[in-house]
Structure 1
């Protein structure tokens, strides 16, 4: 939905990109083409994407669907992550080559930076687009105020009439 927001910082941009391969309102799914996946790898990536969406909905104050976070934890549990130090002494987290491995590294980076809780999914049921909440209090609910937020406020207004 949203093209108005800047991408999430650092590795969280990969998480945002993965979740946003599916347009919930139209059903358009670009996961296979965007990440070059097929077969079992594609099936696992779909499972990973939807489990991440559940976590992002939880960040926005919604209850995650039953089992979704267990699925996410299971997929990430197998991700090999290594800390590597370069010649300048800078430490970096290095992931294996799989998508779940790269996502695990991105989440670890976001957790360390304190940015992971600001990656959310839009509260609109027909949207659920991933976005990075840059609001001062981190209380954003919609991917865009001008579209999803305005619709929600209009529905609330009409329900009072």
Structure 2
């Protein structure tokens, strides 16, 4: 999958979330989750293996992905639409997690046993998000503020205030639009 600019991918389990969100390239008009085969290939490459998917899983995962992108747009300052929040609540409610404690006493949320299809993949994404929340990295997973891009990137900047997937492309375009808009409103008045 493309990585605009020179941004490093999201750390640890958050990379699963980033890879899921970037299965659609809005600017190029390409979606890599259109079929059961594409969803299975994604899960095999980035998530849990051995899952079986049906047509409804493809639709459900695409809706979940799009709503989750809205949450990442929220990390860059955009309001998260109410339908996206509702979709996330619904999808995450069908993907139960359990608390697992290992031999060293470390605790983490893991997908409940017996899940398959979209519910299993959503549960793995939810567990990755909870890990990122605990690590304080979740708010740094952002969708590019450029509406026609929305590529999801991990903001490695020290202040964590990045807005674009790459400053040299989307950031420059936004600044140029702002510059032009400012100059078009300040037209010189013709002499009398």
Normalising by structure 1, we get a TM-score of 0.91
Q: 1:12 aligns with which of 8, 11, 14?
A: 14
The residue number in structure 1 matching 2:63 is: 47
Deviations 1:51-78 (A, max 9, x none): 1011011111111233111111111122
Distance 2:103 2:82 in 1: 46
Structure 1 unaligned residues grouped into runs of 5+: none
Q: Secondary structure at the match of 1:55?
A: helix
Q: Secondary structure at the match of 2:82?
A: coil
The residue number in structure 2 matching 1:104 is: 126
Cα distance change on mapping 1:27 and 1:38 into 2, 3 Å: farther
Deviations 1:14-40 (A, max 9, x none): 111111000111220112424265501
Structure 2 unaligned residues grouped into runs of 5+: 44-52, 184-192
The residue number in structure 2 matching 1:126 is: 148
Is residue 87 from structure 1 mapped to residue 103 from structure 2 by the alignment? yes
**Bigger Rg, structure 1 or 2:** 2
The residue number in structure 2 matching 1:77 is: 93
Q: Secondary structure at the match of 2:161?
A: coil
**Structure 1 residue 3, shift from structure 2 partner:** 5.1
CA RMSD across the alignment = 1.7
